Amino acid sequence: AQKITQTQPGMFVQEKEAVTLDCTYDTSDPSYGLFWYKQPSSGEMIFLIYQGSYDQQNATEGRYSLNFQKARKSANLVISASQLGDSAMYFCAMREGGGSYKLIFGSGTRLLVRP
Amino acid sequence: GAGVSQSPSNKVTEKGKDVELRCDPISGHTALYWYRQSLGQGLEFLIYFQGNSAPDKSGLPSDRFSAERTGGSVSTLTIQRTQQEDSAVYLCASSLVTAGGYNEQFFGPGTRLTVL
């Protein structure tokens, strides 16, 4: 069963506007972590933001924030004031508890920022 | 400090040959991971090493794939009798493992494997 779902294969956003990238997940483990990574065309994976399942507040890191709705099992990434350099693939990933720190990734969303 | 390094950056091989891919993690990171990314796809977990514990091999797609981590540092992923479907970018990552920490994974640049 697919545990991380990103339903937007591609998204466009106008420079300086905000954009939301969707991510839903499925787990029966009460302890888990959610990550967002950015992959530019150069190929490297860049960690953006983390949300723990027990965190009371939504995570924020600069222009990135995570809209965490636990009951709906969604962890959407919000990028504010988009910049041309934000054009990249974005992956949502989940780490379950149980001692293994492996990540399960979604299929990604390609974001293109228009000038 | 130095990030995760991988070698070679590109590898072209013929079907049926064996290949070895190397990963040098960030110094001090006890956890090391291998993932595979096929063209236009997300990352697929292969194997995970943590300290002296038995590795989590649950993601290895077949017994042609194996990996080892010597001395708790450098890791080698070996693919025997390569097949065309093995063509992908192989990404290595490392992380700390600390209670209460993000323990985010830091990725290397990857090895692009092409099997002809």
Please say whether the beta carbons of B77 and B65 come within 8 A: yes
Predicted confidence at residue B52, as pLDDT, reads 84
* Residue burial B77-94, b: 16+ Cβ < 10 Å; e: rest: bebeebeeebbbbbbbbb
Q: By C-alpha distance, which of A96, A91, A20 is closest to A52? A: A96
CB contact under 8 Å between A100 and B48, yes or no, is yes
User: Long-range contacts made by residues A49-55, C-beta under 8 angstroms, separation at least 24?
Assistant: A49/A77, A50/B102, A50/B104, A51/A75
**What proportion of chain A, given as a percentage, has pLDDT over 70?**
97
- What amino acid is encoded at B100 in this protein? G
Mean pLDDT value across residues A4-9: 95
Nearest residue on chain B to A110, judged by CA atoms?
Answer: B40
Distances (CA, A) of A72 to A23, A67, A69, B49: 11, 11, 5, 32
Q: What is the pLDDT of residues B63-84, one digit of tens each?
A: 999 999 988 799 999 999 999 9
Question: Does residue B97 have a pLDDT over 90?
Answer: no
Euclidean distance between CA atoms B87 and A60, whole angstroms: 37
pLDDT band at B95 (very low <50, low <70, confident <90, very high): very high
Q: Does B95 touch chain A (CB under 8 A)?
A: yes
Phi/psi for B84 (5° steps) reads -60, -30
Q: What is the mean pLDDT of residues A55-59?
A: 93
pLDDT in the model for residue A78: 98
Per-residue model confidence as pLDDT tens digits over A74-105: 999 999 999 999 999 999 999 987 677 889 99
The rounded percent of chain B whose pLDDT value lies above 70 is 99
Q: Residue B14: is it exposed, middle or buried by C-beta count within 10 angstroms (0-12/13-18/19+)? A: exposed
Residue of A nearest to B46 (CA): A102
Paired strand residues for B11: B113
Q: Is B31 in Cβ contact with A45 (below 8 Å)?
A: no
* Higher-pLDDT residue of B70, A40: A40
Nearest alpha carbon to residue B31 among B71, B65, B78, B72:
B72
**Per-residue pLDDT at A100:** 74
The pLDDT value given to residue B64:
97
Amino acid at B111: T
Residue-wise pLDDT for A63-73, tens only, equals 999 999 999 99
The pLDDT assigned to A1 comes to 56
Q: How far apart are CA A55 and CA A71, in angstroms?
A: 13
Q: Which residue from A minimizes the CA distance to B31?
A: A101
pLDDT at B89 over 80: yes
- With a cut of 70, say whether residue B1 has pLDDT above it: no
Average pLDDT, chain B: 93
